[in-house]
Structure 1
Amino acid sequence: MKILQAKLDDVDRVAVLFNNYRMFYKQPSDLEAAHHYLAQRLSKDESIIFIAVENDTCLGFTQLYPSFSSVYLKPIWKLNDLYIAEHARNKGIGQKLLEAVREHALRTESKNVILETDWDNKHAQHLYEKNGYEREDLVYHYTLPL
């Protein structure tokens, strides 16, 4: 298995997993929209996607969005999406993807990597904490619904 940074020509194989990821979060299946969304992010350099590939099949992905810290004058990466195909889970793919995220953040001299996950997603929380991510209890997260 290899971890690669996705390019525009990888969108076809990542879009299937991205569509499954969205359905996991109770969104309707829309492979065409998933494909279009990923193609837009990559073609505009608006995200970084790492993919886990084995035998030319995409088994998992993670997507990062750039942000910045005005206080620290450094970039920040938001780990927005992490998904492993059901049949490929519990094989260390999430671990390898998180290692690629860390290496990318270090390479880009970032302040940190931030993420959020559902309060009941214990499996993901365990994986993140095992990789050094710290839960912040002193910061409130707000959303402005539009």
Structure 2
Amino acid sequence: MSRVRAAVLNDLEALTHLLDEYRQFYQQPSDLEAARHFLSQRFGLGDAFLLVSENAQGEVDGFVQLYPGLSTVGLNARWTLNDLYVSPASRGTGAGRALMESAAQLAREHGVPRLALMTQVGNARAQGLYESLGWQRNHEFYSYLLNV
């Protein structure tokens, strides 16, 4: 069973490699320096909640990252679960489920009534996990992107 905890600065090296693998999963080129810089900014600015999972050997093997935001319609907070990644060697061990459950618990502890996420249409494995945890696919809104 995975242990989930808040990430700390001492996790930076392990997280750098995981973030780089995560980005490569989404067809981005490997860039360890940029990944380390991005994570250092998150730690420095405190603008994200970052949780890590540890395997039985105490090694960081996954992470989930949440970004706080607001809902004008709901007049409350709404966090975006922007990233979930588990190393290939730890997939199928429950690490992803533990990270998702911990993210939901953290939101509840902060009084956040809703989490939102997006995933690629073809990422059936992730979709299966999300739906098994009670996440519902949004059929009322389209998602749009604009490169500026």
TM-score of the two chains, using structure 1 as the length reference:
0.96
**What is the aligned partner in structure 2 of residue 59 from structure 1?**
61
**What is the aligned partner in structure 1 of residue 146 from structure 2?**
144
- Please state whether the residue corresponding to 1:35 is helix, strand or coil: helix
| Equivalent residue pairs, number | 146
Cα offset, 1:7, TM superposition: 1.7
Q: Which runs of 4+ in 1 moved over 4 A?
A: none
Question: Aligned partners of 2:97, 2:8: CA distance in 1, in Å?
Answer: 21
- Please state whether the residue corresponding to 2:69 is helix, strand or coil: strand
Q: Which amino acid aligns with 2:100?
A: L
**What is the aligned partner in structure 1 of residue 49 from structure 2?**
48
- Please state whether the residue corresponding to 1:62 is helix, strand or coil: strand
**8 Å CA contact 1:76, 1:114 repeated in 2:** yes
Question: Aligned partners of 2:46, 2:78: CA distance in 1, in Å?
Answer: 15
Superposed CA deviations along residues 31-87 of structure 1, whole A, max 9, x for unmatched, are 111011011012101111110013231111111111111222221111111111011
**What is the aligned partner in structure 1 of residue 116 from structure 2?**
114
**What is the aligned partner in structure 2 of residue 105 from structure 1?**
107
Cα offset, 1:118, TM superposition: 0.5
Question: Aligned partners of 1:82, 1:125: CA distance in 2, in Å?
Answer: 12
**What is the aligned partner in structure 2 of residue 2 from structure 1?**
3
Structure 1 unmatched ranges of 5 or more: none
Q: Which amino acid aligns with 2:44?
A: S
- Please state whether the residue corresponding to 2:68 is helix, strand or coil: strand
The percentage of aligned residue pairs carrying the same residue is 37
User: Whose strand proportion is higher, 1 or 2?
Assistant: 1
Question: Aligned partners of 1:117, 1:56: CA distance in 2, in Å?
Answer: 28
TM-score of the two chains, using structure 2 as the length reference:
0.95
Range 114-123 or range 52-61, more displaced: 52-61
Question: Aligned partners of 2:76, 2:8: CA distance in 1, in Å?
Answer: 25
Q: Which amino acid aligns with 1:51?
A: V
Superposed CA deviations along residues 102-139 of structure 1, whole A, max 9, x for unmatched, are 10110111120000001110000000001111001110
Question: Aligned partners of 1:56, 1:111: CA distance in 2, in Å?
Answer: 32
- Please state whether the residue corresponding to 2:105 is helix, strand or coil: helix
Q: Which amino acid aligns with 1:133?
A: W
1:126 paired with 2:128, answer yes
Q: Which amino acid aligns with 2:84?
A: L
Question: Aligned partners of 1:9, 1:144: CA distance in 2, in Å?
Answer: 35
